Amino acid sequence: MTETIQPVRALRGAVKLPGDKSISHRYAMLASIAEGTSKLHNFSTGADCHSTLGCMQALGAGVEKNGTEITVHGVGLDGLKAPAAALDAGNSGSTIRMLSGILAAQPFRTTIGGDESLSRRPMARILTPLAQMGAHIEARDGKFPPLTVDGRPLEAIDYPLPVASAQVKSCVLFAGLYAGGVTTVREPIVTRDHSELALQDFGAEVTSIKGVISIQGRPRLMARELAVPGDLSSAAFFLVAGTLVPNSRIVIHGVGLNPTRSVLLDFLAAGGARIRIAQLAEGSRELSGDLIVESARWQGGVMEKSVTAALIDEIPVLSILGAVSEQGLIVRDAGELRVKETDRIAAIAENLQRMGITVHVKQDGFEIPGKQTFHAAALDSFGDHRIAMAFSVASLIAGGPCTIEDPGAASISFPEFYQLLRELSA
């Protein structure tokens, strides 16, 4: 299948986004091992988070879905049961990496795998710390899914993370729930802290000071009622589109503004984007608010180190903004992009080149000169949701209609994307 995207004159209107993907995964897992019935509002509609729900259900948690309202009947820390068949994490790296921390401590054997893309993603980063905790996990070729996890009692560790990864940090913290004593993770660069906040919400004892996060093992986790804020990484497509399409004004309601994620807003604002936070919501550990974006000339920017780590999911769409910016965009320290749902550096470069855009590719990043013009082209999502949506945004300012091969990849995180884009274009 292909999607045709027409260039537009303006994007105007208001949208509400599906719940944050990262937060939805964590709430689903923790609600399943908490005691009692949790209510999760505005749960992500993305296929990835429904893969997590499917796994938790197969492990014995009760899951009822009513649109974006999810009820989870938790079974308690020691209540999960051996699944009847292998668990399917689909396309979701978050599911397999974070859930493995929980599976490693269960008194049964589980196999967990996923689709072709997931089967190529590196797992050594979780296997190493989990082995130190005493876990027994077999992986294809020692490092790829599927994983066969022979659960057993785990020991607490103090683990310096070699790669800045919130998924790996979360995997170790979730395993630490089951270990006696205090498990500590030391981050080289501070990454998104949704697990730390969610663990506290469900009643775990977690401390976090300057990238050193500790969790006390064997807590009593209790059911909660929680609302998931809109996904800032989904909002990013509209923040960039609203900036680069002239005469635009988009209101995005209820977006998650956790400071470990809102680095995006600072980076856009530093280049001259016109984005305002209109209304901050209070009363939950996860900050959220309404955003208003209006068209602006973006100056460009240089992204490296901790900023790159914080913006890793937004780089595909920021590359589009970079090409039309005044001074271009330089992305450094982004080697992790090569091991996402696809090699995102290669996918970005290929699609940009098809649109007539010059890009200088490096092993761990790229440089895109500014003041370039997008030409109509036949584009490819390469089966990657963020590539599909980033190049839909590029198509809005192309010289003519563009097509995107396998546009349905967007539904991994944002099934409503094309519909909302049409509404804003009308």
**Which residues are identified as catalytic?**
313
Residue with tokens 């769409």, as numbered in its chain: 317
Return the number of the residue (25 or 224) whose C-beta is nearest ligand S3P: 25
Smallest gap from residue 100 Cβ to ligand S3P (A):
13
Question: Under DSSP, is residue 335 helix (H, G, I), strand (E, B) or coil?
Answer: helix
* Positive or negative torsion for Cα 40, 44, 48, 51: positive
Near ligand S3P by CB under 6 A: residue from 313, 314, 380, 384: 313
Q: Which stretch binds ligand S3P (CB under 6 A): 8-16, 151-159, 165-173, 324-332?
A: 165-173
Interactions with ligand S3P, residue window 168-227 (CB under 6 A): 170, 192
Exposure string for 399-417, b = 16+ CB within 10 A, e = fewer? eeebebebbbbbbbbbbbb
| Distance, CA of 298 to CA of 101 (rounded, Å) | 42
Return the number of the residue (27 or 374) whose C-beta is nearest ligand S3P: 27
Exposure string for 320-358, b = 16+ CB within 10 A, e = fewer? bbbbbbeebbbbbbbebbeebbbbbbebbbbbbebbebe
Q: Is 52 in the site for ligand S3P (CB under 6 A)?
A: no
| Distance, CA of 49 to CA of 24 (rounded, Å) | 6
Which of 169, 165, 171 has its CA nearest to residue 149?
A: 171
Smallest gap from residue 358 Cβ to ligand S3P (A):
27
Near ligand S3P by CB under 6 A: residue from 24, 42, 94, 100: 94
Angle between helices 344-354 and 385-395 (to 10 degrees): 20
Do strands 301-303 and 212-216 pair parallel, antiparallel, or not at all (unpaired)? unpaired
Interactions with ligand S3P, residue window 221-280 (CB under 6 A): none
- Whether omega before 219 lies within 30 degrees of 0, making that bond cis, reads no
Q: What x-and-dash track marks residues 332-351 binding ligand S3P by CB under 6 A?
A: ----x---------------
Near ligand S3P by CB under 6 A: residue from 32, 44, 167, 184: 167
Smallest gap from residue 189 Cβ to ligand S3P (A):
10
Q: What x-and-dash track marks residues 121-160 binding ligand S3P by CB under 6 A?
A: ----------------------------------------
Smallest gap from residue 152 Cβ to ligand S3P (A):
25
Return the number of the residue (12 or 21) whose C-beta is nearest ligand S3P: 21
Q: Which stretch binds ligand S3P (CB under 6 A): 110-118, 166-174, 287-295, 358-366?
A: 166-174
Return the number of the residue (165 or 425) whose C-beta is nearest ligand S3P: 165
Residues binding ligand S3P: number (CB under 6 A): 10
Is the Cβ–Cβ distance between 159 and 132 less than 8 Å?
A: yes
| Distance, CA of 223 to CA of 33 (rounded, Å) | 9
| Distance, CA of 292 to CA of 32 (rounded, Å) | 36
Is the Cβ–Cβ distance between 387 and 316 less than 8 Å?
A: yes
Return the number of the residue (244 or 409) whose C-beta is nearest ligand S3P: 409
Return the number of the residue (339 or 361) whose C-beta is nearest ligand S3P: 339
Interactions with ligand S3P, residue window 394-423 (CB under 6 A): none
Return the number of the residue (62 or 259) whose C-beta is nearest ligand S3P: 259
Q: Is 22 in the site for ligand S3P (CB under 6 A)?
A: yes
Which of 426, 359, 424, 414 has its CA nearest to residue 389?
A: 414
Near ligand S3P by CB under 6 A: residue from 166, 199, 223, 265: 166
Count of positions (residues) in the chain: 426
Smallest gap from residue 391 Cβ to ligand S3P (A):
18
Smallest gap from residue 208 Cβ to ligand S3P (A):
15
Angstrom CA distances, 217 to 83, 105, 165, 199, stand at 24, 12, 21, 12
State both tokens at 15.
């949208």
- From start to end of 133-248, where are the E strands? 136-140, 144-150, 158-160, 182-186, 206-209, 212-216, 225-227
Near ligand S3P by CB under 6 A: residue from 165, 288, 319, 342: 165
Smallest gap from residue 109 Cβ to ligand S3P (A):
26
Do strands 136-140 and 206-209 pair parallel, antiparallel, or not at all (unpaired)? unpaired
Smallest gap from residue 153 Cβ to ligand S3P (A):
26
Return the number of the residue (137 or 173) whose C-beta is nearest ligand S3P: 173
Interaction site with ligand S3P (CB under 6 A): 22, 94, 165-167, 170, 192, 312-313, 336
